[in-house]
Amino acid sequence: MNVLRIATRQSRLALWQAQEVARQLRELDPSLECELVKITTRGDRFLDAPLGAIGGKGLFVKELEQAILDGRADLAVHSMKDVPVELPDGLHLPAVLARASPLDALVSRDGRGLDELAPGARVGSSSLRRQSQIRARRPDLRVIPVRGNVDTRLAKLDAGEFDALVLACAGLERLALSHRIAQVIASDVIVPAIGQGAMGVECREGDYRVESQVARLNHEATSVAVRAERALNRALGGGCHFPVAGLARVSGTDVMLRGLVGSIDGRQVIERSATGSVHEPEAVGNAVAGALKAAGADRILTAL
């Protein structure tokens, strides 16, 4: 029987992503059956602690990867912004799907945008990247950590714990929650997370039955952009919970990457960019990282 077992977290967004990959796989091969292997990760269990204190965003993927390695699953679907730059031995990412919006969104109780929020307004975000850039633009705001899935965070907003939240546009769109967006935040206001808006499919190296199915989902332009962004992150130390941002775009045979490192208090923000060949996206990522380091990004990151 032609069955693929897909490891996934159990949040509504993670299940949507796994089901979307299953749908696309079945569209290519109607004889294929897909089974979801639902897993609760360490990142899902410890919602009271900051991600950085318990190991960073890699905690959302480790258990899924283990399920592939021990044979309980054939593949896993991830938000690429959650995937550490170094994968476990024996696993790889044969497909990165076409990217949804990479941008952040402001969801506010009264529909105001970031620049219109009242002085002292409470903005929920646990991302050091977002905290840094929000404080750089609006140092008067109170940026407060918030954990939990999208629905949990929105419930906290609606209950009055926050005046606004910053969330990924892609997640809200995938959950049919676009109506909650007060402002799509342009990338020149808040540079997105590495890999944001893109989904990746991970499987065992050399598992040709699975690889041959999965590889057909790869979107080359998205894959190139994400490779450039991840090379930037790797060259800066590879921390998912660092205040590092990057967004690459492909135009013809060029890939253009903009990278940012900021202090958590928002007082120091360094941006650099570079353009290079789509055939060498890692070189573009390394070039931007080198320029950021030369401008003082190393000092910001080592001070964390």
Q: pLDDT at position 40, please? A: 86
Domain around 150: 104-185
Residue 13, domain member (yes or no): yes
Verify that 142 and 178 share a domain, yes or no.
yes
pLDDT more than 90, % of the chain = 89
44, 74, 82, 104: the catalytic one is 82
The residues pairing with 204 across neighbouring beta strands, listed in sequence order, are: 91
119, 266: one domain: no
Provide, rounded to the nearest whole percent, the portion of the chain with pLDDT above 70: 93
* CATH code (residue 163): 3.40.190.10
- For residues 70 and 210, membership in a common domain is answered with yes
**Average pLDDT of span 201-215:** 97
Per-residue pLDDT tens for 106-135?
Answer: 999 999 999 999 999 999 999 999 999 999
Distance CA 225, CA 281 (A): 7
Shared domain for 78 and 161, answered yes or no, is no
pLDDT higher than threshold 90 for residue 196: yes
Sheet harboring 183-185: ordered strands across? 142-144, 122-124, 164-168, 104-108, 183-185
On whether both 120 and 268 belong to a single domain, the answer is no
Confidence of residue 54 (pLDDT cuts 50, 70, 90): very low
Residues 88 and 139 in one domain: no
Residue 73 predicted with pLDDT over 90: yes
Catalytic residue flag (residue 82): yes
- Tell me, yes or no, whether 110 and 176 share the same domain: yes
Q: Are residues 77 and 146 in the same domain?
A: no
Q: What is the pLDDT of residues 239-285, one digit of tens each?
A: 667 899 999 999 999 999 999 999 999 999 999 999 999 999 999 99
What's the mean pLDDT in 183-211? 97
Report the number of distinct structural domains present in the chain. Answer: 3
Same domain, 304 and 171: no
> Does 192 map to a domain?
no
Instruction: Specify whether 79 is located in the same domain as 129.
Output: no
